[in-house]
Amino acid sequence: MAIRAIRKKHNSPRSKKSSGAGARQTFDVLVLATMSAGKSSFINALVGRSLLPAANEATTACLTSIEHRRTAKSFRGTCYSDAGDKIITEPDASTEAVRAWNADTQIRRIHLSGKFRTHLPLGPGLVLHDTPGPNNSQDERHGELMLDAIHRVPFKLLCYVLNAAQLGTWDDRRLLEQLRELLAQQPQRPLVFILNKVDLLDPERGEDLAGSVSKARRYLEGLGFLDAIIVPTMANIALYARKAMHAEPLTRVERIKLRQALDELGFEQENTLQAAAMPEALKARVLRELKKSTRPGPLPSDDVQAGDVAELEQLLVHSGIRTVEFLLNQRSTAA
Ligand SMILES: Nc1nc2c(ncn2[C@@H]2O[C@H](COP(=O)(O)OP(=O)(O)OP(=O)(O)O)[C@@H](O)[C@H]2O)c(=O)[nH]1
Ligand SMILES: [Mg+2]
């Protein structure tokens, strides 16, 4: 059965309850993909911190919800067992702590809450839900946890992350077919596709952005997802840019990748927003908003020059993450 990938806004976008978020009103966004497509990196880029562990191997093992709290000074972490018992509470959760929790077989769910470093205001109670990639042959519970998330998280938006460097694997196809069946029973749930890792495309080898989006669109249409919104992104680059803008230390590899992305910005022929698959009217609104909100703000430290910030701002727009932010802002603040 064919599915319109994104539908008109529905009437009651907020949930009263979200896993670990108590009885506050929440706007839940579920993030799904096969292993290593970049789910956790995508969430980190939106949060603006290396909060969730990300690596080129099965990394996320727990269902992890991250709630935006505008006034929080740090990220508070709470861990739950399979039975839902609270096991750990940590007022200032570090990436190392989150990594250790993911490795602890007693922990099934993690709830984190803190302030996201976004450009646009996000509605209070925005909760992003990270899930394990279900195609981990070493641990079949990852698949079960992901299915559990689809059934239990009262999500109002689903972000499905496609890996631009590995489009159309059998695992991805199977997951999308499964999702199509599940969503056919819940037609009110909008879906946005994130075409991640577009920085790995090599235009000189004919791998251009527009072609990659067209390929993704055809692939999705073949699976019954019609009129899909597809936003090309470079999640890891967006995260490094956000960290640099907040004068946060980067690792040597992160610095090199950020420098390379900034250098390539000058040569970039293709605009990620132009390449995105979405209605032209929506694109025009995103463009207006990006122009309005991409203004140099206060410098984070004496080490960061105004010119650097302007360049980083431009890179963030180019990374596609600000377009996603616009979509989240539009939906979560309208709630
Ligand atoms: N080149 C490139 N690499 C990326 C991008 N986003 C993520 N990565 C890398 O891809 C690898 C996997 O990223 P994760 O965020 O851990 O992927 P995941 O989907 O959360 O993986 P699991 O939790 O294991 O299912 C990491 O090495 C990331 O640094 C991107 O936009 N470009
Ligand atoms: Mg992950």
Per-residue model confidence as pLDDT tens digits over 275-332 = 999 999 999 999 888 887 665 555 555 555 555 788 898 899 999 999 999 999 888 8
Q: Determine which residue's CA is closest to atom 12 belonging to ligand 1.
A: 36
- Output the furthest CA–CA distance in the chain (Å, rounded): 57
Q: Determine which residue's CA is closest to atom 7 belonging to ligand 1.
A: 38
Stretch (H or E) spanning 58: none
- Terminal alpha carbon distance of the chain: 29
pLDDT of residue 57: 79
Q: Which two tokens mark 162?
A: 């496609």
Q: Is pLDDT at 47 greater than 50 in this prediction?
A: yes
Q: Which CATH number do you get for residue 168?
A: 3.40.50.300
CA of 96 to the centre of ligand 2 (A): 14
CA of 263 to the centre of ligand 1 (A): 22
Q: Is pLDDT at 188 greater than 80 in this prediction?
A: no
* Residue list, CB under 5 A from ion ligand 2: 39-40, 59-60
> Of 22-36, 128-142, 163-177, 298-312, where does mean pLDDT reach its minimum?
298-312
CA of 60 to the centre of ligand 1 (A): 11
Q: Determine which residue's CA is closest to atom 1 belonging to ligand 1.
A: 197
**Strand partners for 67:** 113, 127
Which ligand is located closest to the Cα atom of residue 135? Answer: 1
- Rounded-to-integer distance, Cα 38 and Cα 32, Å: 10
pLDDT of residue 75: 95
Q: Determine which residue's CA is closest to atom 13 belonging to ligand 1.
A: 38
- Rounded-to-integer distance, Cα 76 and Cα 229, Å: 33
Q: Go through 138-171 and write b for each residue having 16 or more CB atoms within 10 A of its CB, e for each that does not.
A: eeeebbebbeebbeebbbbbbbbbbbbeebbeeb
- Rounded-to-integer distance, Cα 279 and Cα 297, Å: 30
**Strand partners for 128:** 29, 66
DSSP string, 253-270: HHHHHHHHHHHHHTT--S
- Rounded-to-integer distance, Cα 133 and Cα 35, Å: 4
Among 75, 87, 183, 58, residue whose Cα is nearest residue 128: 75
Average pLDDT (82-89) is: 94
pLDDT digit string, tens, across residues 235-274: 999 999 999 998 899 999 999 999 999 988 877 666 889 9
DSSP 8-state symbol, 26:
B
Residue ranges making up the domain that contains 165: 3-334
pLDDT digit string, tens, across residues 196-248: 999 999 888 888 999 999 999 999 999 999 999 999 999 999 999 999 998 89
Total domain count, the chain: 1
Q: Using the atom order of ligand 1, give the atom closest to the CA of residue 130.
A: 20
